[in-house]
Structure 1
Amino acid sequence: MTPSLTLLVWMTVFTWVVLMLASLSRARAWTPRGMSLALGNRADMPEPSPAAARLDRAARNTLENFLLFAALVLAAHAAQVQHPHVTLGAQVFAVSRVAFVAVYWAGIPYLRTLVWGAGVAGMGLIAGTML
């Protein structure tokens, strides 16, 4: 398996973990009522705390960007493009997405945009290598 495909697998796991953390955070699953909500149909979810709302937005953004990343990595693989820039772009994307979630959850506004931009640059490196 290529390094970029390996990163794709790890980013799949990371995206799932972030989505689950956001969901459990919104439900407040560490409480008995929250656990019931998390295991139920989520009909009466409480309003999210500011941190839970940020984590939910970070999770949604991670999912959106993951779809674009996956398309690029799979396209590079299908086209048999094995240039070091594809791997570097995937690495930049992966590291920046982990940083993005942490920074967004912590509520650091300008740094959040910078690390988001780094992830976009990583995808741009992959795309640019194939064009």
Structure 2
Amino acid sequence: MPKLLSLVVCMAVFTWATVVVASLIRARAWTPTGLMLAFGNRDNLPEATPLGGRAVRAAANTVENFVFFAALALVAQAAGATGERVLLGAQVFLWARIVYLPVYVAGIPFLRTGVWAVSIVGLGMMVAGMS
């Protein structure tokens, strides 16, 4: 599999895991009541804890950003524009997103924004590498 597509797969798996973990944190699945909520329809979830809310927002942000990353990576692959800058940008994006998750969930606001900005720089590198 081409390197760029491997990065898309890695990001897809990471995004899926982020959504699942956020859902479990939101439902408090480590408690018997929370586990039943997690396995149920989640119609009557209690109000989110600050940690649960951050986990859900971080997961949503990961999904939103994955859409842009996947679009750029797939266009680059289809166009044969998979040079070093595109690959480096994709790697920067992936690693920044991996760092972003615990920083967001931990509630570190300015660092969170900085790490997010690094991921956006990675997307910009990908775009620049396609021209």
Q: CA RMSD in A?
A: 0.7
Please report how far the alpha carbon of residue 117 of structure 1 lies from its aligned counterpart in structure 2 after TM superposition. 0.4
Distance 2:7 2:128 in 1: 18
Paired residues for 1:62-81 under 5 Å: 62-81=62-81
Paired residues for 1:1-131 under 5 Å: 1-131=1-131
Counting aligned pairs with the same residue, the percent is 51
Give TM-score scaled by structure 2 length: 0.97
Structure 1, unaligned stretches of length 5 or more? none
1:69-127 per-position Cα deviation (integer Å, ceiling 9, x unaligned)? 00000000000112101110010000000111110011110000000000001011101
Which one-letter code corresponds to 1:101 in the other structure? L
Structure 2, unaligned stretches of length 5 or more? none
Distance 1:123 1:19 in 2: 22
Distance 1:4 1:115 in 2: 21
Distance 2:33 2:14 in 1: 27
Please report how far the alpha carbon of residue 129 of structure 1 lies from its aligned counterpart in structure 2 after TM superposition. 1.3
Give TM-score scaled by structure 1 length: 0.97
Task: Tell me the matched-pair count.
Answer: 131
Distance 1:95 1:51 in 2: 22
Please report how far the alpha carbon of residue 2 of structure 1 lies from its aligned counterpart in structure 2 after TM superposition. 1.9
Distance 2:94 2:23 in 1: 22
Please report how far the alpha carbon of residue 5 of structure 1 lies from its aligned counterpart in structure 2 after TM superposition. 1.0
